[in-house]
Structures are given as structure tokens and as C-alpha cells.
């Protein structure tokens, strides 16, 4: 699958953030089982691919996305049935890659269409991404996620850090 960055994604070039020793083409996104990058920099997690035990493969695919060294946003549907082991492994991966994620992953947008479940979804996702340094937003639909993604992409990592340090409430969408 070939993807080219949209005009909204600007390349960031910090020195030696990730070892790109496997000669990665910055504009080629390998076919990934779990992540659909056909609309890169908006990357969608395929719900069908999320099966018990998926966290290791998820981490490997996230690493490949980070190797692109181009800002992106992850969009996924909330999965209340994710196993505790997968949640723990993904949370640990997010914390251990905090610095690189802060440079390139502009946010996780989670879709929860049921208004009555949105608050609990927000808490569950917040707990899973705590310590990762990545902005998390829960929205009602893919349409809202598509509208929010460019907003998150236009902010640099330093802009996001400044907004956290001013203790302003985090962006929450309906």
C-alpha cells in the first residue's frame, strides 16, 4: 500500500529518534494487518483485526508507523472486550515509546457512538493511554473523527505540550 502525506502533515526531523536501519522509505507504508493507512496521516485501527493476543503485533505496526517520522493520528472504535493482558501490554508499549510518540503521533481518536457509554469509554481510554504523552479524544462518529484529525495534525508536539502545561481542559468532542 502506498500513501503520501497530506498537506496537513509536515515532516519532523529530530536526530536519531528511531533507528531506521532497515532502509525505510518515508512515503511507503507497508501493508499492515491491523492498521489501515490508506488515508495517511489518518490511520484507522481495523476492528476485525483486534483479537485476543493482538498487542504484540499492534506494537510492531505502531513501530513501523513511527519509522515514517511523519505526524499521524490513530482512529479506532472502542473495544470494551479487549483483554486485560492486551490493555496492559499496549499501555506499557505506549509509555516506553513516549518520547517518539510525542513527536509523531498527534492523538488517538476513539469512536464511541453510544452517548451513554462515552464517559466510561473516555475513562477507560484515558487509563490505557496514561503516561504515553499522546492526546486522547473520544468522539461519536467517524465523520467527527475525520473533522478532528486535521485539527490535531496541525499542532506540533510543542504546541500540545504547552496546552498541557497551562492546565486547560483537554479537547472533548460530542
Query: DSSP 3-state assignment of 124?
Result: helix
pLDDT 10s digits, 38-47 = 999 999 999 8
- Euclidean distance between CA atoms 119 and 131, whole angstroms: 20
pLDDT 10s digits, 117-130 = 999 999 999 988 88
pLDDT for the residue 116: 94
Within a domain: 1: no
Q: How far is CA 140 from CA 34, 46, 107, in A?
A: 22, 17, 16
**Sites in the chain below the pLDDT cut of 50:** 1-26, 164-169
Quote the number of domains for the chain.
1
For residue 65, what is the enclosing H or E element?
helix 55-67
Within a domain: 113: yes
pLDDT for the residue 47: 85
| DSSP3 helix / strand / coil % (the chain, rounded to 5) | 40, 15, 40
Within a domain: 21: no
Q: β-strand 35-39 against 42-45: which pairing, if any?
A: antiparallel
pLDDT for the residue 31: 59
For residue 95, what is the enclosing H or E element?
helix 84-96
Average pLDDT, whole number, for the chain? 79
Within a domain: 18: no
Within a domain: 47: yes
Within a domain: 29: no
Range of the domain at 100: 35-160
pLDDT for the residue 64: 94
Amino acid at each position: 500500500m502506498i500513501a503520501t502525506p497530506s498537506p496537513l502533515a509536515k515532516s519532523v526531523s529530530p536526530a536519531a529518534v528511531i533507528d531506521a536501519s532497515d532502509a525505510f522509505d518515508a512515503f511507503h507504508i507497508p501493508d499492515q494487518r491491523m492498521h489501515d493507512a490508506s488515508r495517511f496521516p489518518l490511520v484507522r485501527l481495523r476492528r476485525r483485526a483486534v483479537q485476543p493476543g493482538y498487542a504484540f503485533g499492534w506494537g510492531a505496526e505502531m513501530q513501523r508507523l513511527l519509522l515514517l517520522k511523519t505526524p499521524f493520528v490513530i482512529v479506532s472504535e472502542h473495544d470494551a472486550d479487549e483483554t486485560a493482558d492486551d490493555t496492559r501490554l499496549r499501555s506499557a508499549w505506549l509509555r516506553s515509546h513516549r518520547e517518539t510518540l510525542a513527536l509523531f503521533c498527534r492523538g488517538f481518536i476513539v469512536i464511541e457512538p453510544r452517548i451513554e457509554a462515552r464517559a466510561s469509554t473516555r475513562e477507560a481510554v484515558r487509563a490505557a493511554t496514561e503516561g504515553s504523552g499522546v492526546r486522547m479524544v473520544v468522539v461519536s462518529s467517524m465523520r467527527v473523527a475525520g473533522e478532528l484529525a486535521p485539527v490535531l495534525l496541525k499542532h506540533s508536539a510543542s504546541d500540545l505540550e504547552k496546552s498541557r502545561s497551562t492546565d486547560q481542559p483537554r479537547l472533548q468532542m460530542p
